[in-house]
Amino acid sequence: MTALSDLIAMRIRADGPMPISEFMHICLMHPENGYYATRDPLGRGGDFITAPEISQMFGELVGLSLAQAWLDQGAPTRFALAEAGPGRGTLMADLLRATRAVSGFHAAAELHLIETSATLRDVQRNTLSGHPATWHEHHGTLPDLPLFLIANEFFDALPVRQYERAGSLWRERCVGLEGGRLRPGLGAPLPLGGLDHRLEDTRDGDVVEVSSESAAVAKAIGTRIAAHGGAALIFDYGDWRSLGDTLQAVKGHRTADPFEAPGTADLTAHVDFEALAHATPSAHSRLTAQGVFLERLGITARAKALARRLEGAALEAHVAAHRRLTHPEEMGTVFKVIAFHPETAAPPPGTTP
Ligand code: SAH
């Protein structure tokens, strides 16, 4: 038992079974014992690894795509360069290094980082030393400027609710207690107008996931882009319209039981990109596989250039990292990117053929 399993069990005894979204929120965000509050999950001996931690090429190419979008919109002389959930700050550091050669980009950029974890803010401060930044708890405090934003594996950390189809009704999957242990169970069948469109592509017993927080963040970011200009590049694993129970716990690079030892494993759910696209009032690009995006931006040429300076184990690791980011059997297809952009501007390079 962990401190959080006691707390969750106590709440369930008082209020009844808990939506998965509330469970995720407590596990990840509890100020003392939450997963993100208590550790650096990406550090040495961490629980999982992300694209920017695999290779510098990821952040470099993302940076050049974003800088090209900035140029395409007339290179506004002041803009917010923002990241949601910057982790160790590696993606932003690689982006900043790659865009040094883009004339005027750094001078115009104000760096804004949306991060709730104090532990990770410290790591970011260290990684990005030399680049003054403003940290935000929430996107709501971003300045009213053109917004050029990146987010990698951010939306998958936002809570989802789960519903299992029962005829034309839905039963919410909730966390309850079974013999004193936390276990998932199903609520009573209810009509849910917000899920009418899912009656088309689901059958009895199918689970669908809804993240109202993700939709709210996508709407807020897209509203800023529509009003002030800018672009957002959002990377995550998931699909256009997610189907099935994708709640996953990862601990020490292995999947774990999400209901065992809450607060000690990373919890994520696949991103429903259709829901993000529908929530944004800005225009959006097509959903693009990460491997395709990186190939369009020339990752192979960049990989070859970097390989010239490497040999032995370092060269092997570099070749493996390139494959890991782009290959369909690795992160190339499961991970996807969607861009938000103003109606009047082109989407960032890499997101269109
Ligand atoms: N983008 C990084 C880290 C991904 S891990 C990378 O690719 O390596 C998820 C990140 O989102 C962490 O920095 C975590 O602290 C942050 N995060 C999770 N939920 C958040 C929320 N609701 N608000 C702000 N940051 C959040």
Contact 90, 57 (CB under 8 A): no
Cα–Cα distance measured from residue 290 to residue 332, given in angstroms and rounded to the nearest whole number = 5
**How many CB atoms within 10 Å of residue 265?**
24
Least confident residue range of 63-67, 119-123, 223-227: 119-123
Protein residue whose Cα sits closest to atom 13 of ligand 1: 87
Closest Cα to atom 22, ligand 1: which residue?
158
Q: pLDDT tens across 49-102, in order? A: 999 999 999 999 999 999 999 999 999 999 999 999 999 999 999 999 999 999
What CA–CA distance (Å, rounded) separates 53 from 223?
30
Residue 45 has pLDDT above 80, yes or no: no
- Output the 3-class SS for 112-170: EEECCCHHHHHHHHHHCCCCCEEEECCHHHCCCCCEEEEEECCHHHCCCEEEEEECCEE
Those residues whose C-beta lies under 8 Å from the C-beta of residue 230, and which sit 6 or more positions away, are: 69, 73, 79, 80, 146, 147, 148, 149, 224, 341, 342
- The architecture that CATH gives domain 36-159+210-341 is 3-Layer(aba) Sandwich (3.40)
Report how far residue 280's alpha carbon sits from residue 217's, in angstroms, rounded to the nearest whole number. 9
Distance 74 CA to ligand 1 centre (A): 31
> Distance from the CA of 116 to the center of ligand 1, in angstroms?
8
Evaluate: CB of 52 within 6 angstroms of ligand 1. Answer: yes
Who contacts 147 (Cβ-Cβ below 8 Å, separation ≥6)? 79, 80, 82, 221, 224, 225, 228, 229, 230, 231, 232
Single pTM value for the model: 0.97
Burial code of 158-169, b = ≥16 C-beta within 10 A, e = fewer? Answer: bbbbbbbbeeee
d(CA 330, CA 320): 10
d(CA 344, ligand 1 centre) in Å: 30
pLDDT range class, residue 123, cuts 50, 70, 90: very high
Is any atom of ligand 1 closer than 6 Å to the C-beta of 91? Answer: yes
Instruction: Read off the pLDDT band of 1 (50, 70, 90).
Output: low
pLDDT at 332: 94
* Best residue among 36, 83, 150, 158 to mutate for probing ligand 1, ranked by most atoms within 8 Å of CB: 36
Check if 94 has its Cβ closer than 6 Å to any atom of ligand 1: no
Q: Which residue has the tokens 């429903």?
A: 272
C-alpha torsion angle, residues 136, 139, 141, 146 (rounded to 10): 110
Residue type, 33: N
- Using the structure block, give the residue that is written with the tokens 């939306």: 155
Question: What's residue 40's pLDDT?
Answer: 87
At residue 237, the 3 state secondary structure works out as strand
pLDDT > 80? residue 24? yes
Predicted local distance difference test score (pLDDT) of residue 2: 73
Q: How far is the CA of 19 from the centre of ligand 1 (A)?
A: 22
Q: What ligand 1 atom has the least distance to the C-alpha of 51?
A: 7
At position 83, the amino acid (one-letter code) is: E
Going by C-beta distance under 8 Å and a sequence separation of 6 or more, which residues neighbour residue 289? 328, 332, 333, 335, 336
Per-residue pLDDT, averaged over 317-324, amounts to 97
Ligand 1 atom with the smallest distance to the CA of 156 is 9
Report pLDDT for 38: 79
Give pLDDT tens digits for 160-169. Answer: 999 999 999 9
| Mean of all residue pLDDT scores within the chain | 96
Q: Percentage of residues in the chain with pLDDT exceeding 70?
A: 100
Ordered by start, the domain boundaries in the chain are 4-26+160-208, 36-159+210-341
pLDDT category at 237 given cuts 50, 70, 90 is very high
* pLDDT tens string 253-264: 999 999 999 999
Sign of the CA dihedral 83, 84, 85, 91?
A: negative
Nearest CA to ligand 1 atom 14: 85
Q: What is the per-residue pLDDT across 179-224, written as a single tens digit (0 to 9) for each?
A: 999 999 999 999 999 999 999 999 999 999 999 999 999 999 999 9
Q: Is 23 in the pocket of ligand 1 (CB under 6 A)?
A: no
